[in-house]
Structure 1
């Protein structure tokens, strides 16, 4: 279910929300051992892998969507069944992945499986608080009287709390030792046409867009084009965003 929302949207994602997720890359790659072998799970457009290679790491990526994998020049595959042997990577990253898979705990166990003893697993997710771009979009939907279809959700027994403690909890359940759990903030700038492309096609945004009539589509676009402060920074939209970030290590022995 969750993965289906990200299928066949690679190029639109690259021009829209990929820039949002890229804001977490510096922290994800900070202070890693040089020349370490790194696997980025759910690599998307490959931005993290490219940055890791520039930093001197031996990095590869994998993504379940063939279009996304082709765009990134990565392998095709995803959680919870990665095509790698146990203990193969000194660093495993999952940037905004565990909040989008159908089985988060199984996904966490797979991250732990492919990480070497003593290795590092770093994961980010979006927290439970609606991000500012969603708040902006929700205001526009209310303004034009749009319908609100139910957002796809995981069954309660598979879901987890979208918080530092919640993410740390499923990594701990996977046998990892959590060393850091908190949040990271940054400002995301995006061109209006690029954000519009994402809002009308990707994830739950796309689900909502496809539920509207042509008339509502037109009114949404007009209201969107009229947006000003506090959402604008010159010709760009600007959003102060925050994610959950957790680091864990694989116990030795």
Structure 2
């Protein structure tokens, strides 16, 4: 789900950690949000997990690392396939949830771009949307490459850009309400650290890290969710960047955002309060 900086000290072969403003913001955004995330957005992110594990070749006996495990969705799925699973996340609340979801896995607090594992420890490394939450994706990918064995696989998902219509709903409401971004929330990654969030951009990032046989595909689906649940367990609970943005506004602006959320959400409603929100994600995999 999300990884933020936590100082574990040096592990052999690990790069020197550099904390960006984006990383610091992520630390604040996700602190204490585990339960709200698990009850809302985690259900959305779970959609990509079966395909993620498929392309990574996770099966019985696979030594699998799930980076940014969140509430443990991918870790639990890996255990169900008979893999030997280790999972990490930087938010202690997420780690607690993941331990409950995947009791057979080893779950601990850890952070990119410094992981507390020796070189070539794992057969497979997966990260479900973790690259969306790091300030220097290339450094994070280099660390994943370090801990996977030669010939092992890395499989990652990220949200595509521009976003699919359902994914853009909260952002549209924020913009329509005239909300102003607070200074503690960065506009995005530094130009030298960012990359195009499309198939070619993610594939090129994998290739530039020295990975072989890189491939990328787009996954599309409609996330069906009750409108009030989507609001209350997302923006209203301060979850993710959009939630942090909403929570930083005055009560009047928050009310306006909610009004536009309801207005725009009606475009996706089925008449019973359930939204069918189109989403798109990129899935890339490669071999060391």
TM-score (structure 1 length as normaliser): 0.90
Alpha-carbon distance change, 78 to 126 in structure 1, aligned in 2, over 3 angstroms: same
Among 193, 198, 210, the alignment partner of 2:234 is 198
Deviation of the 1:232 alpha carbon: 1.6
Cα deviation, 1:24-43, whole Å, max 9, x if unaligned, reads 01101116243211100000
Map Cα deviations across residues 45-75 of structure 1 (whole Å, 9 max, x no partner). Answer: 1011111111221122100111111111121
Distance 2:168 2:38 in 1: 22
Q: What is the rounded CA distance, in whole Å, between the counterparts of 1:243 and 1:54 in structure 2?
A: 24
Task: Check conservation: 2:226, 2:274, Cα contact below 8 A.
Answer: yes
Report the secondary structure of 1:34's partner residue.
coil
For structure 1, the 5+ residue unaligned runs are none
The counterpart of 2:88, out of the listed 62, 68, 75, is 62
SS of the residue 2:234 aligns to: helix
- The aligned counterpart of 2:112 is 79
1:215 maps to what in 2?
Answer: 252
SS at match of 2:244: helix
Greater Cα shift, 133-142 or 78-87: 133-142
Could you say which residue in structure 1 is the equivalent of 2:6?
Answer: none
* Contact 2:203 2:214 (C-alpha < 8 Å) held by counterparts: no
Across the two proteins, how many residue pairs are aligned to each other?
249
What's the CA shift for 1:225?
Answer: 4.6
RMSD in angstroms over aligned alpha carbons?
Answer: 2.0
Are positions 1:116 and 2:149 aligned together?
yes
For 1:40-55, what aligned pairs fall within 5 Å after superposition?
A: 40-55=66-81
Q: What's 1:29 paired with?
A: 53
Of the structure 1 ranges 227-236 and 5-14, higher mean CA displacement relative to structure 2 is found in 227-236
Q: Which sections of structure 2, spanning at least 5 residues, go unmatched?
A: 1-21, 100-106
Q: Which runs of 4+ in 1 moved over 4 A?
A: 225-228
